[in-house]
């Protein structure tokens, strides 16, 4: 069975003490021939090289540790620590020579630490000695577990402690059995150094048990054994009594919260920068009397309205800009932006935060240990689900915003327009009126968010992989420049917005129905689709697309740019 987790390579120091690896009576690093050690290393490396390529990548190592049920297989941080330690030449791959250098350096430290505890040099250490050693490590790192008390469990003259100390001793006893005996005796008979102990809990650890368990353990706080014990204490036990564990849980909470916060801030910045485009888009969607000169020729417009002055037929986009400016100058382009910011913070926060959480969930379902290795279909599904969660959460605010933007000019000057509009809406249809068009909104949001977030993630992953290969460095060391993030965001947002634009147009008209700017009313999604095609033809389903794309490209680019940089500043990536 492969023993896992990260270990740091380096010749100096030991897992418990400094000093060299001398010879001992039939055990230890100095009592194994180079040929035997090479064969043992090749056996371990062969179990890790599940793809039989002669080299290990980080992804391969994850699969190998999971397949071999490595004790720390669920800790991606530990797996990355192990890979970094094994990759002695830093090329992003571990071949046998890398592993051999790592293993010898690690065993030098393991051997030295064992000799420090093995006072009589017989190749066996007592559990009371191990417990005292852990106690010294805990105290030196200012951790509240007093593992020195654990030693009394195995001292013949002292066995009267009660309460928390007894619980700690039981945990230590279970850890020792889990680490050195239960797993050790799961090996085949020809690998065992001695027969299983019977007649009660084990009281000693052999050198081979010590070495085999600790070889692929990360070396933190100067000790592989302490790393293993901390993992068992925090994750195998139901309770967490250590300050280190408290900090782990707190850090995970703030890490998750930071994704939501970074997403919310990014959304507000992006929406404020692109508010004028959003205002023009809503104006064009609401005004059904304007025919697009991009989708229709002037001749087609004159055919429907023979009395129109051909010289005055202008693009609806220019008409919208001039009309809005006449209504209120520059401020007219920011009508509803305060409500927009109030709406977009939770929307963007939920979208990005849920995207990260959903990717973690999908990674667990797929059996991958890192969400960065999530398959492309699962990434798109995670994006769609995150978008739907965000849309549902802020839908009432969205409806209220559209109602305000479609109000008569005189109403826009009302200081209480927000309250009055909400009050009037409630009187007209109760709470349900705030959710008009919800099904269409969710129907359109899933593919939009899936294409947006999924495409961005896929392009980002592809560019990072491409740049890592080009520069011959690990992918984790690649940071995309801001000038690279911007076009990726623009492309992903444009693809999503164009694909679902007709659905969003119909949803917006359902939300704005019966207002001054859009007096038509509908019985549902099929009715608004039918009336839109009757009045404006199929091109009417894409009215406002150009200003939408003009808004989406910079909006999504700015949003992703802020989000990626905020994640980097917060240490989330």
Q: What's the pLDDT tens digit per position in 304-335?
A: 555 555 555 456 677 778 888 887 788 888 87
> Among the listed ranges 99-113, 203-217, 338-352, which one has the minimum average pLDDT value?
203-217
Q: Which two tokens stand for residue 426?
A: 């409630």
Name the most confidently modeled range: 157-166, 208-217, 282-291.
208-217
* H or E element that contains 552: helix 545-569
| pLDDT for 249 beyond 50 | no
What DSSP designation does 310 have?
Answer: G
Which superfamily, per CATH, for 29-241? EF-hand (1.10.238.10)
Rg (the chain; Cα; Å)? 33
The pLDDT value recorded for residue 156 is 40
Beta strands per DSSP E along 165-292: 204-206
The pLDDT value recorded for residue 207 is 84
What are the CA-CA distances from residue 525 to residues 437, 504, 512 (Å)? Answer: 7, 11, 13
CB within 8 Å of 469: residues ≥ 6 apart: none
Contact 7, 215 (CB under 8 A): yes
The pLDDT value recorded for residue 170 is 64
Rounded distance between C-alpha atoms, residue 417 and residue 413, angstroms: 8
Q: Where is pLDDT greater, at 484 or 223?
A: 484
Other CB atoms within a 10 A radius of the CB of residue 233 amount to 23
Nearest-10 crossing angle of helices 482-512, 376-405: 50
Beta strands per DSSP E along 89-186: 94-95, 124-126
The pLDDT value recorded for residue 315 is 64
Nearest-10 crossing angle of helices 545-569, 275-286: 150
Contact 323, 409 (CB under 8 A): no
The pLDDT value recorded for residue 443 is 82
CB within 8 Å of 170: residues ≥ 6 apart: none
Contact 29, 106 (CB under 8 A): no
Dihedral-angle region of residue 5 (phi above 0 means left; psi in -120 to 50 means alpha; beta otherwise) = left
Q: How confident is the model at residue 385 (pLDDT cuts 50, 70, 90)?
A: very high
Q: How confident is the model at residue 258 (pLDDT cuts 50, 70, 90)?
A: confident
The pLDDT value recorded for residue 440 is 78
Among 404, 410, 405, 438, smallest CA distance to 424 is for 404
Q: Which two tokens stand for residue 46?
A: 């062969």
Q: What count of residues does the chain have?
A: 573
In this prediction, what percent of the chain has a pLDDT beyond 90? 14
Among 453, 529, 523, smallest CA distance to 491 is for 453
Q: What residues does 94 pair with on adjacent strands?
A: 56
| pLDDT for 561 beyond 90 | yes
Q: Where is pLDDT greater, at 141 or 344?
A: 344
For residue 209, with 0-12 CB atoms within 10 Å meaning exposed, 13-18 middle and 19 or more buried, which class applies?
buried
Other CB atoms within a 10 A radius of the CB of residue 360 amount to 15
The pLDDT value recorded for residue 247 is 39
Domain boundaries, given as residue ranges, for the chain: 29-241, 254-569
Alpha-helical runs (H) found in 513-544 = 525-536
Among 434, 412, 436, 409, smallest CA distance to 423 is for 434
The pLDDT value recorded for residue 484 is 92
Highest CATH level, class, for 254-569: mainly alpha
Q: Where is pLDDT greater, at 82 or 183?
A: 82
């Amino acid at each position: 069975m492969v023993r896992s987790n990260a270990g740091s390579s380096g010749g100096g120091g030991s897992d418990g003490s400094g000093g060299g690896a001398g010879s001992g009576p039939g055990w230890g690093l100095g009592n194994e021939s180079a040929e035997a050690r090479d064969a043992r290393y090749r056996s371990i490396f062969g179990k890790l090289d599940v793809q039989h390529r002669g080299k290990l990548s980080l992804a391969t190592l994850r699969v190998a540790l999971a397949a071999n049920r490595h004790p720390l297989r669920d800790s991606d941080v530990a797996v990355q620590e192990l890979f970094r330690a094994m990759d002695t030449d830093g090329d992003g791959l571990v071949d046998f020579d890398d592993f051999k250098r790592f293993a010898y350096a690690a065993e030098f430290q393991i051997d030295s630490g064992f000799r420090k505890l093995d006072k009589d040099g017989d190749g066996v250490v007592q559990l009371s000695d191990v417990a005292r050693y852990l106690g010294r490590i805990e105290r030196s790192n200012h951790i509240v577990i007093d593992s020195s008390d654990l030693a009394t469990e195995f001292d013949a003259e002292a066995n009267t402690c009660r309460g928390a100390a007894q619980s700690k001793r039981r945990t230590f006893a279970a850890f020792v059995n889990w680490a050195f005996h239960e797993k050790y005796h799961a090996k085949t008979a020809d690998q065992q150094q001695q027969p299983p102990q019977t007649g009660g809990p084990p009281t000693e650890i052999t050198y081979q048990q010590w070495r085999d368990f600790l070889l692929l353990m990360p070396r933190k706080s100067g000790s592989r054994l302490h790393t293993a014990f901390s993992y068992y204490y925090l994750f195998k036990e139901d309770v967490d009594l250590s300050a280190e564990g408290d900090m782990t849980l707190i850090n995970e909470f703030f890490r998750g919260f930071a994704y939501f916060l970074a997403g919310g801030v990014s959304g507000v910045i992006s929406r404020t920068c692109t508010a004028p485009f959003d205002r023009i888009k809503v104006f064009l969607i609401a005004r059904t009397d304007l025919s697009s000169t991009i989708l229709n020729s002037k001749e087609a417009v004159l055919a429907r309205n023979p009395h129109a002055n051909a010289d005055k037929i202008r693009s609806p986009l220019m008409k919208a800009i001039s009309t809005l400016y006449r209504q209120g100058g520059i401020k007219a382009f920011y009508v509803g932006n305060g409500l927009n910011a109030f709406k977009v913070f939770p929307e963007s926060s939920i979208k990005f935060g849920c995207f990260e959480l959903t990717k973690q969930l999908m990674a667990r379902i797929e059996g991958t240990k890192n969400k960065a290795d999530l398959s492309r279909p699962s990434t798109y599904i995670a994006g769609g689900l995150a978008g739907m969660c965000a849309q549902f959460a802020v839908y009432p605010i969205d409806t209220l915003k559209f109602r305000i933007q479609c109000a008569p000019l005189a109403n826009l000057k009302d200081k209480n327009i927000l309250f009055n509009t909400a009050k009037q809406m409630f009187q007209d249809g109760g709470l349900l009126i705030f959710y008009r068009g919800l099904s269409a909104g969710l129907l359109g949001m899933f593919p939009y968010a899936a294409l947006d977030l999924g495409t961005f993630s896929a392009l980002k992953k592809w560019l990072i992989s491409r740049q890592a290969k080009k520069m011959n460095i690990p992918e984790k060391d690649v940071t995309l420049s801001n000038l690279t993030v911007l076009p990726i965001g623009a492309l992903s947002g444009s693809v999503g917005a164009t694909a679902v634009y007709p659905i969003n147009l119909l949803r917006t008209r359902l939300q704005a129905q019966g207002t001054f700017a859009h007096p038509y009313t509908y019985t549902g999604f099929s009715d608004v689709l039918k009336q839109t095609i009757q009045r404006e033809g199929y091109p009417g389903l894409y009215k406002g697309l150009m200003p939408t794309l003009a808004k989406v490209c910079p909006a999504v680019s700015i949003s992703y740019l802020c989000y990626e940089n905020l994640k980097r500043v917060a240490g989330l990536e």
